[in-house]
Amino acid sequence: MPTLSVSQISSVVGGKLQSDGNGSDSFISSISIDSRTIFDPASSVFFALKSERNDGHRYIPDLVHLGVRFFVVSDYLDEYQSCTNCSFIVVADTLKALQKLAAWHRSQFQIPVVGITGSNGKTIVKEWLFDLLHDRAVLRSPKSYNSQVGVPLSVWNLRPDYELAIFEAGISNSGEMENLFEIIRPTIGILTNIGEAHQENFKSHQEKLEEKLLLFKSCETLIYCKDQPLVHAEISKGIVIPEGKAFGWSFDDEAANLYLRKNEVGAGVEISTEFEGKKYTIEFPFQDAASLENAGHCLAFILTQHLADDAVIEKFHRLQPVAMRLEIKEGVNSCLLINDYYNSDINSLQIALGFLNNHAQHPYLGKTVILSDIQQAGISDEQLYSEVARLLQLNKTSHLIGIGLRIRKYADLFEKSSTFFESTDQFLESVQPDQFRQECILLKGARDFHFERISSVLQKKYHQTVLEIDLNAMIGNLNFFRSLIRPETRVMVMVKAFSYGSGMAEIARILQFHKVDYLAVAVADEGIELRQAGIDLPIVVMNPEEHSFENMIEFRLEPNIYSEDIFDSFRKVLQQHAVVRYPIHLKIDTGMHRLGFDSVEKVEKLVSKLIVQDEMVVRSVFSHLAGADEAVHDEFTSSQIQRFQELSSMITEKLSYQIFRHILNSAGIERFPEFQFEMVRLGIGLYGVSLCGNQQVKSMSRLKTSISQIRKIEAGQTVGYGRKGVAREDSEIAVLPIGYADGYDRRLSNGVGKVFVNGRIASVIGNICMDMCMIDVTGLQVAVGDEVELMGEHILVSDMAETIGTIPYEILTGISQRVKRIYLQE
């Protein structure tokens, strides 16, 4: 990584340096635009970028707390002046500053730099070149870092020991490529193709082509496919690229700079060519037009740069599809599933259809295309879908399933065998996986249609039990509860008991990013686990134990002081370690009769001790409501709140610093927001359970498994231990790989528990075993591998709890940690 002083960076970006102390002489090596990606705070500079949905400036106080000391900002706020040992570089536009810094850094290197742009294939060509040249020191853009932000972050990774750098550049508007040119300044260019992708902001393909060609104006060589008439005609003008620098290759024109002959061999292609008097034969493992085009670009680059040794040529036949684009999975009922919902345009559809043809061979009897509305076209809908219909007919697809209002509007353009749905939801409501057998299925959809949901239905299922955690639902729940309180009210979130079964570190990371104020755990070990996972938020330990006090101090965990004995013991440990002003939290018992100071006398005695010591500082005073979720207890709840106000005021009025008060839990936030004081505690509500029945709180956990085996039994036969499950008629029984050791409560045995399978509700039959349970699927037409929901959207955790006479807390926290957690976030 490069190393620059803060003053050097300020000079390069043309900023005004506001530095505390000797900060301008400090050196940094890392740049970041995302507070979650800073791993070395002391040597990082944070660019506070602004966008329509976010503003990096709001994360600066947290970053200062994390140890970041260097910032590039466009808004220099008064509060920054109190940030000790921090330096702020003030600029008019932080994005422009980031790009300017990357452009300066690029200028320090003389190595060959490849710039790749085009409508499709940029990432594939980049990744394939990297694979082919893997034995050399090659830098490439990570993933698809090709945007106005991604390119500077990629170029910043340049180091003197690289032999070659490969950067891709993507644009969606006029005027953007000039910025990327200044950053990349490629010496070799590759133009993959010009198609429909991102066409909506350009008047024509010609306008988009002219914009993309600006990337190559400093190139010594520009590689392009001569078989693209528009591209060849524009480059031949020699306006942007002098004619001698353009290198056109072709599958069709023998007069091209490089002519490639292709011959299909098995499932691949053999390419033969001659360059500078030497003949080459290259084996390539694909036959579809898109892959061959991408391979042509790679081969042209390898040859023109004199890198075509035997080892590199041999690697062509081992190239693999690039992740993020086309994905092949084994589907239900001997189907093959091709997922391509990375983008949606007419050009990429043609590419995907070629890929479908290449794979729709024996034993697949049909070719099905599931296609969404195409959102990037640049032509009228009628022209667009006429062309789609023509392509489907040319490629001899057996069946089209169109999803979306626009494609459905032009249903008459397609074959009679086609079917249409207004939305993905409507399709999923009607689809049965048994409809598809021995077919090659192409899923081609724009991201907004969430075709991954269709993929999950059609791909082959494996025996597994998992708990899916919907982080989007959790964030929505957090925002809902925040909407009920004042902006200045702080939020403490309970993550004890493995975050109510959801997984501690993963949940805590999301909460930290979304700027909650405190986390709370039950015991010190839970807090230590979070610290070791990199969580830096203040953490309260609700049930501190004396033997853990030293570890609590080491890991900066803040104890709940609920008795005079705990106060004295913790103070003694602090004195032994010469610690002062350590944060603590005081528990008041207002009627729960569990933990806490429960009388005026005890509180007065506590205050007298607090006043004469300096080892501890009180961060908050709190109490716990016993029945805030039930209206029958409202009178008692009111008395608790009144008692809390009386006892807490005895502390807050005697101490000279600010102390936060909190008594509201999730139900309290919903039902008594007028008593939010300075902080609230969010627990079960975050995890998707509203004890008040609020429909805006969404379930975020889904416990699911799949059918291991199906067997038929006769009437009168029994199922499971103790022969408790008796078949009243001839029945079909499915075995599920989940039992009470996984947290599936044994009280759900013998018809009490319900599951959701194949769109229907089924009952548990017999006793639940340690690792398995059985369900009655008579008449449901299920198959081995079918997914079964045991808790989630159709089997609500609140209903499960009520059925067995418990509470949702017990169900959620009882799910064993041996059950794999899968976190989903869009």
The answer to whether 592 is annotated as binding is no
Whether 162 is catalytic: no
pLDDT in tens, 383-401: 889 989 988 987 789 999 9
pLDDT in tens, 611-653: 999 999 999 999 999 999 889 999 999 999 999 999 999 999 9
- Amino acid 717: pLDDT: 93
DSSP 107-155: TT--S-EEEEE-SS-HHHHHHHHHHHTTTS-EEE-STT--STTHHHHHH
**Distance in angstroms between the alpha carbons of the first and the last residue of the chain:** 31
Q: DSSP per residue over 101-118, as a string?
A: HHHHHHTT--S-EEEEE-
Residue 378 has pLDDT above 50, yes or no: no
Q: What span, in angstroms and rounded, lies between the C-alpha atoms of 122 and 119?
A: 8
Question: Any idea which residue has 């039994």 for tokens?
Answer: 713
Token pair 């839970």 is at which residue? Answer: 526
- Count Cβ atoms below 10 Å from residue 417 Cβ, excluding itself: 10
DSSP 323-369: TTS-EEEEBGGG-EEEEE-S--BHHHHHHHHHHHHHH--TT--EEEE
pLDDT at 539: 95
Average pLDDT for residues 202-207, to the nearest whole number?
86
The residue from 100, 208, 496, 704 that is catalytic is 496
Q: What is the mean pLDDT of residues 720-746?
A: 92
Question: Would you say 615 and 576 are in contact if contact means Cβ atoms under 8 Å apart?
Answer: no
DSSP SS3 for 205: helix
Average pLDDT value for the chain: 88
Q: Does pLDDT of 790 surpass 90? A: yes
Which secondary structure element, helix H or strand E, spans residue 195, and what is its range?
none
Annotated catalytic residue 496 = yes
Q: Does the N-terminal peptide bond of residue 363 adopt cis geometry, omega within 30 degrees of 0?
A: yes
- Give the pLDDT band of residue 329 (cuts 50, 70, 90): low
State residue 348's pLDDT score: 64
Partnered with residue 130 across adjacent β-strands are: none
- C-alpha span between 626 and 591 (Å, rounded): 7
Report how far residue 343's alpha carbon sits from residue 371's, in angstroms, rounded to the nearest whole number.
Answer: 11
pLDDT confidence band for 459 (50 / 70 / 90): confident
From 16, 572, 609, 721, active-site residue: 721
Task: Supply the pLDDT for residue 375.
Answer: 59
* SS3 annotation, 514-535: CCCCEEEECCHHHHHHHHHCCC
The pLDDT score that the predictor gives to residue 342 is 54
- Can you tell me the mean pLDDT for 352-379? 72
Query: Is the per-residue pLDDT at 411 higher than 90?
Result: yes
Compute φ and ψ for 699, nearest 5 degrees. -60, 135
pLDDT at 346: 66
Residue, of 692 and 74, whose pLDDT is higher: 74
pLDDT-above-70 percentage for the chain: 92
Query: Is 477 a residue whose pLDDT tops 70?
Result: yes
**Nearest C-alpha neighbor of 812 from the set 718, 744, 713:** 744
**Burial (CB count <10 Å: 0-12, 13-18, 19+), residue 400:** buried
Over residues 487-532, the pLDDT tens digits come to: 899 999 999 876 777 777 778 888 887 889 999 999 999 999 888 8
Domains observed in the chain: 4-95 (3.40.1390.10), 109-318 (3.40.1190.10), 327-458 (3.90.190.20), 471-682 (3.20.20.10), 701-824 (2.40.37.10)
Q: Give burial (CB, 10 Å; 0-12/13-18/19+) of 617.
A: middle
Q: What is the CA radius of gyration of the chain?
A: 32
**Can you say whether residue 439 is alpha, beta or left, with left for phi > 0 and alpha for psi between -120 and 50 degrees?**
beta
Indicate if the pLDDT at residue 542 is higher than 70. Answer: yes
Copy the structure tokens of residue 520. Answer: 């709370």
Taking the C-alpha atoms of residue 14 and residue 546, their distance in angstroms, rounded to an integer, is: 56
Task: Indicate the pLDDT class of residue 113, thresholds 50, 70 and 90.
Answer: very high
96 Cα distance to chain centroid? 27
Bridge partner residues of 419 (DSSP):
401
Please name the residues in contact with 601: beta carbons below 8 A apart, sequence gap of 6 or more. Answer: none
Q: Is 594 annotated as a binding residue?
A: yes
Residue 465's pLDDT band (boundaries 50, 70, 90)? Answer: confident
Q: Which residues on adjacent β-strands are paired with residue 597?
A: 588
